[in-house]
Structure 1
Amino acid sequence: MPARDLTTEDLAAYRRLTAEAFGGVPSEVPAPFSPAQIPIGIDAAVVPGDERTMLAAGACIRRDEIALGGGTASCGGIGGLAVHPAHRGVGLFSELIDAALGRCAAEGMAFSMLYPSNPAIYRRHGYQLIARTHAIVLPLGELQRVARVPGRRTVAVTEHTMPRLRALYEELTAGDNGMLRRRGPLFPEGLPAAPWGAILLQDDEGRDRGYLSFSRISPGSDGAGLEVHEVLGRDREDLLALLHHLGSWSTVTYAARLRLRTEDPVLDLLPGGGLRTPDDIVPLVMMRLVDTARALRARPAPEHCRGTLDLWVEDTTPAAASCRAAGGWRVDVHDGAIEVEQLDPDAAPASLEGSLGRVELDVHAAALLLSGGRSLADARRLGLRAESDPPAERLLDAVLAGPRPSVMDAF
């Protein structure tokens, strides 16, 4: 049951398929596929015993780019994956996932990422849970206790100043793991659609120090009348200045729902004990290693790290043949860079010459570790295969160190 690229002629059929799977009513004039997406699908006519000309399954691959410890890696974001109810249970889901991963590999992507409602079915294809999105409900009156920070002022974000916000985002999240680079064509230039708004924070010299983005909403059951998308600043004082500004919203709404990164420094600055978590389903983020060599080369190495190790990745999932994750690589770390050379499996014992040792990972441990911010010990605590010679383990842990992954898909 081969998958194929979808075209403009398939738009209506794909929109009907996804509307039936996820809810809603498809538009009579469906929005065209984005140039930042690769839509693929499987025709019903290729299902044995069924000659109807309709779309049996479909998905879109986003051409994402993610931050990787100071580097940038290409990543296929899988979304809109749906199988028609009449064609479920015959293997089309696996067929479509494998085709999507094969296309990611052909496009030179290092990873694939998705936000699952059922993690188990994706785990069977090599996806590993790497992060969850975080949010808190913050009583805004408590922020009135945050003192004003001297030498800081706020500036409205307009069409004219939006490029400065984008540049600041790129700079402040460059050292993160997993954060989207938010570049075109996925993220077109200009302001996001209303009711989105934002303010920039400047110092007395006019240098941009941070920003706060938000949307005014109708209060829900948690009392939040403000959705705060991001609070980013260069340092602690900048974040305090932004929180002081956020407290000014207490005159018009009781609380804000604040989106956070995994290890967000904002949490260390919030006063009071009135913080709550929203009563929502926890959105999860899963990552699949598609190309081990590309994932390693995409990341710069810490300047102090030097050495060589042999990395072996085992992939026994159904999607193994679609990806370039399995195999062995000589990983040489020096002068802030990572060089990778594929090893001959038959020469594995001899390959240790000149190496600190051997690291052996299953594909789930490899996805967890190469996404950044986790150690081999973390992988073992999760029950994943992560075996290593101690010197090689210390080197790999040092190379992949950093904040745990965070994924925020919009400004």
Structure 2
Amino acid sequence: MPVRELTAEDLIAYRMLSAGAFGGSVDPSAADAPQSISPGRTLVGIDSSSIPGGQAGVIAAGAEIRYDRIALGGGVAGCGGIGGLSVHPAHRGDGLFGALVTGVLARCLAESLPLSMLYASNPSIYRRYGYQVVARPQSLIVPLVDLQRIAAVPDRRLVPVTEATMPRLRELHHELIAGDNAMLRREPPLFPEGLPALPWAAVLLEDASGTAHGYVSWTRRGDATDGIGLDVHELFGRTRSDRVALLRSLGSWSTVTELLRLRLRTDDPVLDVLPSGRARPDSSPVPLVMMRVVDTAATLRARRAPAVLGGTIRLDIEDGTVPEGTCRAAGSYLVTARDGAITVLEQEPSSAGDCDALGTCRLDVHAAALLLVGGRTLADARRLGLGAEADPAAEAFLDALLAGPRPSVLDAF
């Protein structure tokens, strides 16, 4: 069951497979039928004809790999975003899912993508292959009348987001997520330069000198039978006062609708400026964000170390979830922090103990995913029942090295 890269000639067959798994339809004769693979993506799959009883022209299993870049510990890392992973009903139960996942991971490694990310409504099937839940998207339902009462913030004004001002919003977004973990950098070709499609809308918040301090984006819902007339995609501000000003701007919608749905980052700072406790969690189901380490050394090298942190530890990672050579997560590494930089040396297990290190940390691949993406400690990993053991000094070092906000993933403006 060889996994191969799919081409434009395979696109209709792959779309038919995906539509059959997730819903929708594909008309090969339609004028708008897909003709080429979108930039920034690779499709991989397994031919039905390579399986006993299979048929030519049918994709038995397939997936899409996105070449994303994410903010990570003050740096930027490549990440293989996995989507559309599906198996044809005629071939389910034949081991194709595992072959496809390992083929996807091998392709991520070959393309120098040290991490892989996916959304999962059934995390257990991906956990078998080393993926770990790292975040859960969340939203709040907020009464607009509460926002209407917020006092004005001095020296701030709102600017419509247009084709002319959208570059300022993108620049500000990249600046404000630089210290986050796992947030997608919204860059071409995966994110086109222009405005998102209508009915998306947004405003920038700026001061009297024209410096941008924040933005809020939304979509006005026309079918608000539940009273939720506004989907707020994100609200970002440099300071607490900026976030207050943006919340106040949303209060102006209270004359035409009752509620808004506010999409949040993990531990979103906007939670600290909501003017009342009447907001409630959105009950809509959301998929979990799972990540996997594909290349441990490259993941660590992409990060920045705290400027005051210095020292070396031995990091041992075990990974029995995929065939050897599929990923470079497992191994013994000497991890050094000095002057804000991280260096990583791969070691033979027999020689790694001879180094001048603070001690050793031993992680399984699930703990490695949880910790290397940032914002969690070895104690958190142990609390989840993951494999995470360390000498005291090495544990304190690794916790300090990987500190930061917990991962958040918002996949669009």
**Range class of TM-score, shorter chain:** over 0.9
CA drift at 1:272: 2.0
CA drift at 1:223: 1.5
CA drift at 1:31: 5.7
SS at match of 1:115: strand
Aligned mates of 1:360, 1:271 — CA distance in 2: 45
CA drift at 1:348: 3.5
Aligned mates of 1:374, 1:323 — CA distance in 2: 23
Match of 1:213?
A: 217
Aligned mates of 1:236, 1:391 — CA distance in 2: 36
Task: Work out the percentage of aligned pairs sharing the same amino acid.
Answer: 60
User: How high is the TM-score relative to the length of structure 2?
Assistant: 0.97
- CA offsets 1:199-239 (integer angstroms, 9 cap, x no match): 00001121100000001112445411101001000000100
Aligned pair partner of 2:230 in 222, 226, 229: 226
The alpha-carbon distance between structure 1 residues 246 and 31, as it changes in their structure 2 partners (threshold 3 A), is farther
SS at match of 1:321: coil
Q: Which amino acid aligns with 2:382?
A: R
1:3-402 pair list within 5 angstroms: 3-27=3-27, 28=30, 29-30=33-34, 32-220=36-224, 222-350=226-354, 353-402=355-404
Aligned mates of 1:398, 1:278 — CA distance in 2: 34
Q: Does the CA contact (< 8 Å) of 1:179 and 1:405 recur in 2?
A: yes
- CA offsets 1:53-99 (integer angstroms, 9 cap, x no match): 31111100000111002100000000011110001000000000000
The more displaced of 248-257 and 216-225 is: 216-225
CA drift at 1:190: 0.5
Q: Does the CA contact (< 8 Å) of 2:8 and 2:35 recur in 1?
A: no
- CA offsets 1:343-373 (integer angstroms, 9 cap, x no match): 01222332xx310010100000000000000
CA drift at 1:283: 2.1
Task: Return 5+ residue gaps in structure 1 as ranges.
Answer: none
The alpha-carbon distance between structure 1 residues 246 and 346, as it changes in their structure 2 partners (threshold 3 A), is same
Aligned mates of 1:319, 1:59 — CA distance in 2: 19
CA drift at 1:110: 1.0
Aligned mates of 1:191, 1:371 — CA distance in 2: 30
Aligned mates of 2:401, 2:296 — CA distance in 1: 15
Q: CA RMSD in A?
A: 1.1
Q: Does the CA contact (< 8 Å) of 2:333 and 2:352 recur in 1?
A: no
Task: Return 5+ residue gaps in structure 2 as ranges.
Answer: none
Aligned mates of 2:45, 2:353 — CA distance in 1: 44
CA drift at 1:274: 2.0
Aligned mates of 1:402, 1:228 — CA distance in 2: 25
Name the count of aligned residue pairs. 409
CA drift at 1:277: 1.8
Q: Which amino acid aligns with 2:338?
A: H
Q: Does the CA contact (< 8 Å) of 1:125 and 1:319 recur in 2?
A: no
CA drift at 1:319: 4.8
Q: Does the CA contact (< 8 Å) of 2:138 and 2:282 recur in 1?
A: no
Q: Does the CA contact (< 8 Å) of 2:334 and 2:352 recur in 1?
A: no
SS at match of 1:178: coil
Q: Does the CA contact (< 8 Å) of 2:146 and 2:276 recur in 1?
A: yes
The alpha-carbon distance between structure 1 residues 311 and 141, as it changes in their structure 2 partners (threshold 3 A), is same
The alpha-carbon distance between structure 1 residues 219 and 278, as it changes in their structure 2 partners (threshold 3 A), is farther
